[in-house]
Structure 1
Amino acid sequence: MSPLGREPGHALLNPYGDGTVLGLTSPERANALLLGIIEAASSGPHVEPLAAAVARLITDATATDVCFVHVLDDTERSLTLAGATPPFDEHVGAIHLPIGSGVAGWVASHREPAVIVEHKEADPRYVPIPALRGTDYTSMASVPMETGPSGLVGVLNVHTVRRREFTDRDLQLLGVIGRLVAGALHQARLHRKLEARERAHERFAEQVIAAQEAERRRLAGDIHDGISQRLVTLSYHLDAAGHSMQSDPGLAAEQLGLARDLVDLTLDEARAAIGGLRPPVLDDLGLAGGLASLARSLPHFEIELELDDERLPEHVEIALYRIAQECLQNITKHARATLARVRFRVHRGTAWLEVIDDGVGFDVPGTPPGSSGSGGYGMQSMTERAELVGGRLRVISRRGSGTTVIATVPLSSQDAATDRA
């Protein structure tokens, strides 16, 4: 026999103080249950250990055979089995019920208790889950766990092998327990969300560092293969000119001419390398001016511009400029387009960039942009740039119908203040 007793029909004194008697008549058993719930709630910030402890407490308190604790997942569209009494604890995290599906899903949707005394299969709300062996149990009761009128946290299910008429007092007991543990489970869910957000931030930081290192390697390669080599060659021409100045003025003049050409090429490559880090045009003209300058540099097809003269935070301007640059390069290389449109606007706290062409288009794979097989490195690069500034990228295309790329970046209130400054 458990410390709480397995005899049905006892009462738990209602912790809300209205005098209602709920299931365990012995004050000692009521106190033991309350202490057990408090101990479980204070055992740690994680959902699964708390739900497992609650499942054990409930089977003891209600003299039932099995308890399942289904917790609302982070999407708030389905329930996940977060705790269960053995032998079903091995399925924790693997059972999911959409809101409205099955008895637990019905309880979550309607925020009402449900009781099935026998013949579960005949109840239209019942959905069999083979792993949970519903046919082994005759009766069941299910109640919502809520922190308030709109604070659904999950659903408690209890099952018995023998037929059992769950009384109003039984449901009251389950409801009280549900309310007692709902707050702790809610805090555990918030902790889980916080941990997930921290992991996402860590991955974000890793991506930023990797992108920075890749950019440094690319720039180092450009300098080594281009600027450095040209400077070495330039020194040879200047040496040759110096040696020939007296003996062969014509050769010296030729070498100086070659050196001058190399200086021009080296300056061009240096400007390109600097532009690879941050386009200088953004400092002078902002994103609208930068996009207009970018469009003028591509004479291969007509480009129509619709650009708001809005300044954005530096990192957002760079990301959107690079996305537009990649789009226009893709159009030049692959689209065989005669017309492109570049639109930039700020509307209701969101920056919008659209690049549209009338080219040959392509079939967008059924995976999110940036995923494997979603259009190559260029598409992945644009997606990552958008995500790094908190935005998202959409690509709309099909063969023969051109391509539309839309980047949206939400602006914080501080960003909006920067825009107006």
Structure 2
Amino acid sequence: MTGAGPLELLAGRGTDLLVRVVAAACSARELPRMAEELAGLVVRSARALTFCDVYVLAEDERVLEWKGPPVPLGEGDVGWVAAHGRPRRHPDGRGAAVPVHSEGTVIAVIDVRSAGAPPPEDLELVTALAGLFAPVLCSCRRLRTAREREHSAERFAERAVQAQEAERSRLSREIHDGIAQRLASLGFHLSAAERAMPEHHPEGLAQIMMARRLCELAAAETRAAIGGLRPPVLDDLGLSAALATLAREAGDGPGPSGPLDVTVTVEGELEDALPDHVQTALYRIAQEAVGNCLRHAQATCVDLLLEHSHDRVRLKVRDDGIGFPVRDVLGQGGRGSRPDSYGLRGMRERAELLGGRVAVTSRPSAGTTVEAVIPIPGRHRGGVSPS
């Protein structure tokens, strides 16, 4: 050993080496790409080293990860160095494994090889680089852990929503195949009884007619319950057609300000159909937004835009109504407690459960826009924010 410190040793190899180390540390690469970049930096900086791999300790601290199969702690030269925290030369004398320490713990191992016995100055260089690599790899490990936990939380939320929608679908089918069919049969028999009732029994006829009306009301409520659990149009036609049906029904209804003109635009295409729970969430958000237009906005036209991109879906509902002060309804933090804020909060909660966002923009006399952005499962990387 020369006795020089790591920085002095590296500076002796030229300032460009320190520049390359800093450039690697400041890059946006994540594990395992960062480990491969650092391994290449070792080979390029040494005089006689021909090969290098950087093994990084996994979160469970039981194996070391690299581009090949994981190496269990304590197994082989690399595993031994990780377990004992000391460098170790390979038995053939043509390389060594050097630990990377962070706060007294081995977080990685640099494994180098050469054609013959590696020069002492190259091993000193590797040891010096290990000291500089430590904070870089430590940050990468923390970032990876944070993202894995974030993705795990997203997957849990997705599974929870999927389970909820599956249960809703099951209940919808049971009601449709059970109660709804019995009500239809009951209505048929009541109609038959009404036709068969002699005219000289007006009281009996009135009772049957009342029973028919009650049966029709119960059937309508059952259909509404089925639609509330799982809109049948989603299963039959998909999201785009479901939105078109929603628009047509909203336009046919008696709006407080006269007829409501609702248009639907679909942009972009997807390689695969959206998962059912994502379609349901987007449909429910659109349903709530259009319902708010009918109940509160006094709008004459509403535009629905469904936009597909590679990794996310955007739904925008915009009206020309009277608008409202968003802060007054939702509050400063967007979590209002007023009764008229429940629908807006529900839209946000649906999107957030799927890792998405809902933005509401409005002001008096300027209309309202509701914009939901939801990532497509399996393609989502990073945060989502409406733009």
| TM-score of the aligned structures, taking structure 2 as reference length | 0.51
Say if 2:351 and 2:373, in contact at 8 Å, map to a contact too.
yes
CA distance in 1, matches of 2:85, 2:362: 53
1:409 to 371, 374, 379: 374
Q: Structure 1 pair 357/409, CA: closer, same or farther in 2 (3 Å)? A: same
Residue aligning to 1:24: none
Match of 2:261 in 1: 303
Residues in 1 aligned to 2:159 and 2:377: alpha-carbon distance in whole angstroms: 20
Shift of 1:247: 12
The aligned counterpart of 1:193 is 147
Q: Aligned pair 1:255/2:207, yes or no?
A: yes
Partner of 2:131: 177
Letter in 2 for 1:362: P
Give me the whole-angstrom Cα distance separating, in 1, the residues matched to 2:162 and 2:238. 24
> Contact between 1:302 and 1:338, CA under 8 Å: does it hold in 2?
yes
Match of 1:335 among 288, 297, 300: 297
> Which residue among 319, 324, 328 is the counterpart of 1:357?
319
* TM-score, normalised relative to structure 1: 0.47
Partner of 1:313: 274
Do the aligned partners of 2:326 and 2:360 also contact (CA within 8 Å) in 1? Answer: no
In structure 1, C-alpha distance between the alignment counterparts of 2:363 and 2:128, rounded to whole Å: 55
**CA distance in structure 2 between the partners assigned to 1:204 and 1:389 by the alignment:** 6
Task: Give 1:119's aligned residue.
Answer: none
Q: Which amino acid aligns with 1:391?
A: G
2:303 alignment partner AA: R
* Distance (Å, rounded) in 1 between the aligned partners of 2:127 and 2:238: 65
2:238 corresponds, among 277, 280, 286, to: 286
CA distance in 2, matches of 1:409, 1:200: 12
Question: 1:362–1:403: 8 Å Cα contact kept in structure 2?
Answer: no
Count of residues paired in the alignment: 261
Unaligned runs of 5+ in 2: 11-41, 49-79, 87-100, 111-124, 380-387
Matches within 5 A, 1:8-407: 18=47, 39=84, 51-53=102-104, 176-179=130-133, 182-183=136-137, 186-202=140-156, 205=159, 249-298=201-250, 299=253, 300=255, 301-308=259-266, 312-313=273-274, 315=276, 316-348=278-310, 350-359=312-321, 360-364=323-327, 371=335, 376-407=341-372
Mapped contact 1:367–1:373 kept (Cα < 8 A): no
TM-fit CA distance, 1:387:
3.4
Shift of 1:261: 0.9
Shift of 1:308: 2.8
Residue 317 to residue 179, structure 1, CA distance change in 2 (3 Å): closer
Which shifted more, 275-284 or 246-255? 246-255
1:308 aligned counterpart, secondary structure: strand
- Contact map agreement 1:383 1:393 (CA 8 A) in 2: yes
Query: SS of the counterpart of 2:325?
Result: coil
Q: CA deviation at 1:174?
A: 6.4
The alignment-based identity, stated in percent, is 32
State whether residues 383 and 392 of structure 1, in contact with CA within 8 Å, keep that contact through their aligned partners in structure 2: yes
- Report Cα offsets for 1:54-105 as digits up to 9, x if no partner: 6xx9xxxxxxxxxxxxxxxxxxxxxxxxxxxxxxxxxxxxxxxxxxxxxxxx
Counterpart of 1:178, as a letter, is L
- In 1, the alpha carbon distance for the partners of 2:217 and 2:316 equals 34
Do the aligned residues in 1 keep the contact of 2:313 with 2:374 (CA within 8 Å)?
yes
Q: CA deviation at 1:207?
A: 6.5
Quick one: distance in 1 between partners of 2:282 and 2:129?
53
Gaps of 5+ in 1: 1-7, 20-34, 42-49, 58-146, 148-170, 415-421
Q: Secondary structure at the match of 1:401?
A: coil
The alpha-carbon deviation at position 380 of structure 1 amounts to 2.0
Deviates more, 1:356-365 or 1:344-353: 344-353
CA contact under 8 A between 1:362 and 1:399: conserved in structure 2? yes
1:291–1:211 CA distance, 2 compared to 1 (3 A): closer
Are the aligned partners of 2:301 and 2:320 in contact in 1 as well (CA < 8 Å)?
yes
CA distance in 2, matches of 1:258, 1:338: 38
